[in-house]
Amino acid sequence: MKKTLLALAILSATSAYADEGMWMPQQLPQIAKQLKAAGLKLDPASLTKLTEFPGGAIVSLGGCSASFVSPQGLVVTNHHCVYDSVAQNSTPERDLLANGFVARSLAEEVPAAPGTRVFVTKEVIDVTSKVVTPDVAKLSGKARSDAIEKNQKALVAACEQDAGHRCTVPSFYGGLEFYQIKQLEIRDVRLVHAPPAGVGKFGGDTDNWMWPRHTGDYGFYRAYVSPDGKAADFSKDNVPYAPKHVLKLAREGVKEGDFVMAMGYPGRTNRHRLPSEVQFTFDWLYPAFVKASGETLAIIDRETKDNKDTALKYAGQVASINNYYKNRQGMLDSYAGSDFLARKTAQHEELKAWVNADAKRKAEFAADIGKVEHLIAERDAAVKANFNFSYAQPKLLSTAAMLYRLSVESQKPDAERKAGYQTRDLPRIKARVASLVRTYDAKVDKALVMHHLKNYLAQPAAEQKSAFNAALGIKAGMSEAELSAALDKLYAGSKLGVDAERNAWLDKKPADFQASGDAFIKAAVATFDAFMKDEAEEEELGGKLQQAYGSYMKAKIAFMKSRGQAVYPDANSTLRVTYGNVAGRPHGADGTAWTAFTTVQGVAAKATGQGEFNAPKAQLAAIKAKDFGKFVDPKLKAVPVNFLATLDITGGNSGSAALNAKGELIGLAFDGTLDSIISDWDFNKANTRDIQVDLRYMLWNMKHVDKADNLLKEMGAE
């Protein structure tokens, strides 16, 4: 069997920094010496077995990570990962966000937000040769994109013959390798416990990405299946899922210097990007994103401040925007004045010099390296032109466009439909439509669209979408009053804001859409052909870029290998393992030394009784009385709240199990520090720290404040 690029990339892994790297589980035996030296007591080979302990207990929520912590399907993750479910079950009369929620029996558990899933990984297989066949390798542009997608869909269809499973075929190393990942897709997910916002979101946006931190960022779901153990939609007859493996809770707390690892599903990193991508992102894209996010937040605040129910509808969106807003601004602050671009440019020039120094390497790689730089510039220009347009979409128009596309695609055999619109995708589409009940308000949406449309219409005519403008009845040079009147007419002419009306369109035929007088449906139909043309052009560019980027990555792997350096793939929402140690920072971003732990005494010191620092009275009373029980740290003389570690994580790792040397749960990863989040692009060993909520704080709060004794007993914490 030929060696894969993955195997070649890790032959020299001994030279990698001990704490750097989001490693694929199958890579871990190759770095066994480093893991053992760092303190791991398990056999590294055991971590490759995704259906054994501890990997079998680690799950994905499709955006966050989580873990099974009881034989009855109890799932622990971050508070901000269950936030939408708490918000959508909240009303002004029963504000679960503010007051928290504890189900003291199975009967008291409530459905999670529509579309919530628990994905249990069952199998990972290298399928590169089945995706990029010899015939596909000869193709370019859209033909290549289409052929790859066709092969991916065929693999997925065969894999999903096992009912109740969700299969994906993501790419690694810029499309050099593809792996088929099979996951049990648990569709009946229920909210079990979330602490009050004064615990789970303590410090709010003020403390987000900051240290010291005192946030109890934890929450619980439960996974349910049919009585015969199969994935099923919500039903009162369903029973808790029985996982083969659950995480054991550590009996001893961690201390500074201890080994720690996290297992989870990091979203995206960009460490293999070219200098031109770095420059475009930090000089234009992130500043534009920060500006648009700030404007969006201000509009939502203005439009919801006098309506508690509407504010609850947008609470999840506000939390998400705030998180990325501060994240991107933190990256920009770290980038400003740094030598990152200069270093990246120098590294790229060294790669090109190495390629050109050998005739064989030059013949194999030089043309594609030049081509990828040209294609990236073309892609970035399109991103820039479409930026305001992407923000200016009325939510109901986006929904109508999705429903019409679904109707059109449904006329084809399932295998020929566009990925995202196959039969397997229907539950997600239905959940998205259903979620609008508690996430959409016409007044707020119109205000957002009005603002971003003005920016869009200020662009040169060549950067505008003529079909979109015509469908909405808008044009450059309109006064604000004229634009507002056009939007009023559009919103007033649609019934898609009504739940039953939206759901009815899920089963309509294309002719029904084409005959409709509904304003948003008409606009979706009118813009469809132009949208499809734009999509085809994007796929043509994407196919060319994938081919050239793959060649670039092949050259980079060979170059780094020649220097004895390891190459782990950028994160892509697949299961990864990262390891390091519990550690403070001798020189924090604020000029002070950072200790590795914070304690509940810091909660009391910060508590103001209102806003982001409104800690529950019962909690403050327990802290004042030093009612710490067995959860007190003997050295700290208090209950630890959060701790720092040198783990290499990113978005998507939220809720990842932090494990000790024996694979026992010691906490949950939930954040990074503001000056180190640029590690998504540029890893810095000295600065990079991630933040965990300490298990001892979770258990202490559940016992002494929320009285969740039933859950403590279920997890074996009593």
Q: Give the pLDDT confidence of 573-626 residue by residue, as tens digits.
A: 999 999 999 999 998 888 889 999 999 999 999 999 999 999 999 999 999 999
Angle (nearest 5°) at CA 34 between 31 and 35 = 85
What is the rounded average pLDDT for all residues in the chain?
A: 94
Torsion of CA 706, 709, 710, 716, to 10 degrees: 130
pLDDT of residue 2: 42
Residues catalogued as catalytic = 80, 217, 654
> Backbone dihedral region of 558: left (phi > 0), alpha (psi from -120 to 50 degrees) or beta?
alpha
pLDDT of residue 1: 34
* 412 contact partners, CB below 8 Å, separation of at least 6: none
pLDDT of residue 49: 80
Task: Please confirm whether the linkage preceding 54 is cis (ω < 30° from 0).
Answer: yes
* 552 contact partners, CB below 8 Å, separation of at least 6: 174, 274, 365, 368, 369, 372
Cα-based distances in Å from 264 to 54, 66, 119, 380, 652: 11, 7, 12, 31, 8
For residue 190, the cross-strand partners are: 111, 222
The answer to whether the Cα torsion of 464, 466, 467, 473 is positive or negative is: positive
Type of residue numbered 694: D
Range with the poorest average pLDDT among 478-482, 495-499, 560-564: 560-564
**Beta strands per DSSP E along 195-347:** 219-225, 239-240, 259-264
pLDDT category at 4 given cuts 50, 70, 90 is low
pLDDT of residue 207: 95
Q: Residues 695-705: what's their mean pLDDT?
A: 97
The residue ranking higher by pLDDT, 565 or 81, is 81
pLDDT of residue 26: 85
Q: Is the pLDDT of residue 469 over 50?
A: yes
Q: Distance between CA atoms of 698 and 620, rounded to whole angstroms? A: 15
Q: Kind and range of the H or E element at 576?
A: strand 576-581
Q: Is the pLDDT of residue 458 over 60?
A: yes
What's the chain's Rg over C-alpha atoms? 26
pLDDT of residue 203: 97
Q: Is 182:119 a contact under the CB 8 Å cutoff?
A: no
* 697 contact partners, CB below 8 Å, separation of at least 6: 216, 600, 631, 639, 640, 641, 642
Report CA 434 to chain centroid distance, whole Å: 21
Q: Is the pLDDT of residue 453 over 80?
A: yes
Which tokens belong to 148?
A: 């790859």
Q: Is the pLDDT of residue 301 over 90?
A: yes
Cα-based distances in Å from 135 to 128, 148, 151, 447, 550: 13, 10, 12, 51, 16
pLDDT category at 46 given cuts 50, 70, 90 is confident
Q: Helix, strand, or coil here: 243?
A: coil
Q: Is 49:55 a contact under the CB 8 Å cutoff?
A: yes
Q: Residues 219-228: what's their mean pLDDT?
A: 98
Domain boundaries, the chain: 14-117+187-263+568-717, 275-558
Look at residues 438, 427, 430 and name the one whose alpha carbon lies nearest to residue 86. Answer: 438
Look at residues 585, 514, 548, 527 and name the one whose alpha carbon lies nearest to residue 401. Answer: 527
Alpha helices in 392-479 (DSSP H): 395-409, 426-435, 442-457, 466-472
Q: Distance between CA atoms of 238 and 168, rounded to whole angstroms? A: 26
Q: Kind and range of the H or E element at 558?
A: helix 519-562
Look at residues 643, 642, 647 and name the one whose alpha carbon lies nearest to residue 685. Answer: 647
Q: Distance between CA atoms of 631 and 599, rounded to whole angstroms? A: 11
Q: Is the pLDDT of residue 5 over 70?
A: no
- Give the HSE-up count for residue 677: Cα atoms under 13 Å, Cβ half-sphere: 25
pLDDT category at 15 given cuts 50, 70, 90 is very low
How does pLDDT run across 190-213, given as a tens digit for each residue?
A: 999 999 999 999 999 999 999 999
Q: Is 207:323 a contact under the CB 8 Å cutoff?
A: no
Which tokens belong to 368?
A: 């594609």
Q: Distance between CA atoms of 388 and 376, rounded to whole angstroms? A: 20
pLDDT of residue 602: 98
Look at residues 675, 550, 500 and name the one whose alpha carbon lies nearest to residue 178. Answer: 550
How does pLDDT run across 377-412, given as a tens digit for each residue?
A: 999 999 999 999 999 999 999 999 999 999 999 999
Q: Distance between CA atoms of 1 and 473, rounded to whole angstroms? A: 61
How does pLDDT run across 415-448, given as a tens digit for each residue?
A: 999 999 999 999 999 999 999 998 999 999 999 9
Q: Distance between CA atoms of 372 and 257, rounded to whole angstroms? A: 43
Q: Distance between CA atoms of 146 and 227, rounded to whole angstroms? A: 40
Look at residues 459, 298, 317, 327 and name the one whose alpha carbon lies nearest to residue 390. Answer: 459
How does pLDDT run across 518-537, given as a tens digit for each residue?
A: 999 999 999 999 999 999 99
Number of other residues whose CB lies within 10 A of the CB of residue 372: 24
Q: Distance between CA atoms of 337 and 678, rounded to whole angstroms? A: 13
pLDDT category at 484 given cuts 50, 70, 90 is very high
Range with the poorest average pLDDT among 47-51, 156-160, 382-386: 47-51
pLDDT of residue 687: 87
Q: Kind and range of the H or E element at 6?
A: helix 5-9
Range with the poorest average pLDDT among 285-299, 560-574, 621-635: 560-574
